[in-house]
Amino acid sequence: MWFHFCTFNHDPIGRSTLADMAAWFEAGLLDLGHKVTFSDLQMEPQAINLLWECFRPGMGRQISETGVKYGIIATEIPDGVSFNWREEPHWRERFNAFAEVAAGSSFIWTMVESTIPYYSQFCPTAFIELGFSGRLIPDYINSKPEFDFSFFGLRTPYRLEAVERIRRHAKVEWPERFLSAGEVGTLIGKTRVGLNFKQSDRWPVPSPTRLGRLLMAKGGIAAERTETETRQGMIAGQAPDGQDFVEFTLQTLNSDWKQRGERAFETYRSQMLMRSIVESVLERTVSGVSIATGHQSSIGMSAPVPSPSLIESRGDWNIVFWHGQYFALLQSCGPIDVREGIQSLQTRFGKKNIQRARTLAELNVRIAVCEGLRRHSLGRIARFLFRKLRPS
């Protein structure tokens, strides 16, 4: 059977975040003897097409007009009105657009088991885990790690606070930009203990891609406890219920983390074969899907104007990427849609609270200037109040 992954609905940054999942799905399908292809802008009429969720209004009609058979890979948590309890306008737009595309989908593979009831209202749905495949064993393992801990992923206030607490006791490497799959492998290889945080206090599940990368590397793992336990999480080992996570990470660093990592790798290899996981998912979702026969050409898909992407939350700022530019948005301004235009936003919220730049380095300079102006303004206000309130 031919499986074709198309990412026409994602911008370059979005595609880069899918690389790990793509590698896992490809490995499982190849282990079963299937054909696997990828494309940024083409759908294949003679294949089962797979699309990662991240849709915009009108895409349901656009995909339907191709006549191809397709399934959706769902990565987000629906909350009834949006995804992931996000209130920004583009997240609600994304949630509504999902229903348009799902209405024509043959099946859905979800990365979060608890979301099956929601997604099943559209079509057959199965929870897909990321298991072991020999194709995924990393080439780079450093026998002399440089870092006590490392982390890769979205910067959020919740995670920043935890990392700062750990840094008081140990060396933590957390790059400020998105890493390629190869760069992630290099980082893990230079690390004693890999960290796995929730995105926020209410996030219910551990990251399957991050845990998978750490398990495959045979290193130490310090995983935060989540409300929902997954097989990966149980194999990797999570912080005991009630124990402070920072305390747990330091205990892990001072334990036989290397031997524990090797044992976890062997358990992962024996209990979670990606081949078996994919085989079960295909039986529940793809077995009844029929594909067009005869020669048919690939169908080109027009790339959409990308939606804004939250790169990180840093201090009081949200860093957003859109249309080749980076935006710094002061969080106290509330939900902001950068598609409104920089001049309109700066008029509404003030130039000190909204900044734009072509590069992250330039944006960092602009943030530093704005922070300086804010401190100066607060200092002037404090001095004024002090003079007014000082007893005469």
Lowest-confidence region among 115-119, 241-245, 306-310: 306-310
Q: How many CB atoms lie within 10 A of CB 298?
A: 17
Among the candidates 93, 128, 163, a domain finishes at 128
Same structural domain for residues 204 and 230? yes
- The answer, yes or no, to whether residue 378 has pLDDT greater than 60, is no
Full residue range of the structural domain in which residue 11 is found: 2-128
Distance CA 64, CA 27 (A): 29
- The answer, yes or no, to whether residue 382 has pLDDT greater than 70, is no
pLDDT, position 319: 93
Q: How many CB atoms lie within 10 A of CB 260?
A: 18
212-224, pLDDT tens digit by residue?
999 999 999 999 9
Task: Tell me what percent of the residues of the chain surpass a pLDDT of 70.
Answer: 94
For residue 257, the surrounding DSSP H or E stretch is helix 257-271
Kindly report whether the global pTM for this prediction surpasses the value 0.85.
no
The total domain count for the chain is 3
| Residue 88 domain flag | yes
Same structural domain for residues 154 and 246? yes
pLDDT, position 222: 96
pLDDT, position 77: 94
For residues 317-330, give the mean pLDDT: 88
Among the candidates 242, 271, 300, a domain finishes at 271
Which is more confidently placed, 179 or 303? Answer: 179
| Residue 133 domain flag | no
| Residue 299 domain flag | no
| 125-127 and 325-330 strand pairing | unpaired
Same structural domain for residues 76 and 151? no
pLDDT mean across residues, the chain: 89
3-state secondary structure (DSSP) of residue 178: coil
Same structural domain for residues 149 and 119? no
269 confidence band (pLDDT: 50, 70, 90): very high
| Residue 288 domain flag | no
| Residue 215 domain flag | yes
| Residue 200 domain flag | yes
Among the candidates 244, 271, 298, a domain finishes at 271
pLDDT, position 369: 86
Which is more confidently placed, 158 or 386? Answer: 158
| Residue 296 domain flag | no
pLDDT, position 182: 87
Lowest-confidence region among 269-273, 295-299, 303-307: 303-307
Same structural domain for residues 21 and 116? yes
Same structural domain for residues 148 and 39? no
117 Cβ contact list (under 8 Å, min separation 6): none
- The answer, yes or no, to whether residue 374 has pLDDT greater than 80, is no
Which amino acid is located at 73 in the chain?
I
329 Cβ contact list (under 8 Å, min separation 6): 317, 318, 319, 320, 336, 338, 353, 354
3-state secondary structure (DSSP) of residue 390: coil
Distance CA 95, CA 91 (A): 6
CA-nearest of 5, 122, 104 to 60 is 104
Q: What tokens does 174 get?
A: 């957390």
Same structural domain for residues 21 and 112? yes
| Residue 298 domain flag | no
Same structural domain for residues 100 and 156? no
Same structural domain for residues 107 and 77? yes
For residues 182-190, give the mean pLDDT: 91
Same structural domain for residues 236 and 210? yes
Answer for the pair 174, 152: CB distance below 8 angstroms, yes or no.
yes
134-160, pLDDT tens digit by residue?
999 988 776 788 999 999 987 777 888
Same structural domain for residues 20 and 77? yes
CA-nearest of 105, 21, 16 to 55 is 105
Which is more confidently placed, 108 or 185? Answer: 108
Same structural domain for residues 327 and 353? yes
For residues 88-109, give the mean pLDDT: 92
CA-nearest of 97, 121, 95, 89 to 108 is 121
Phi and psi at residue 270, in whole multiples of 5°?
A: -90, -30
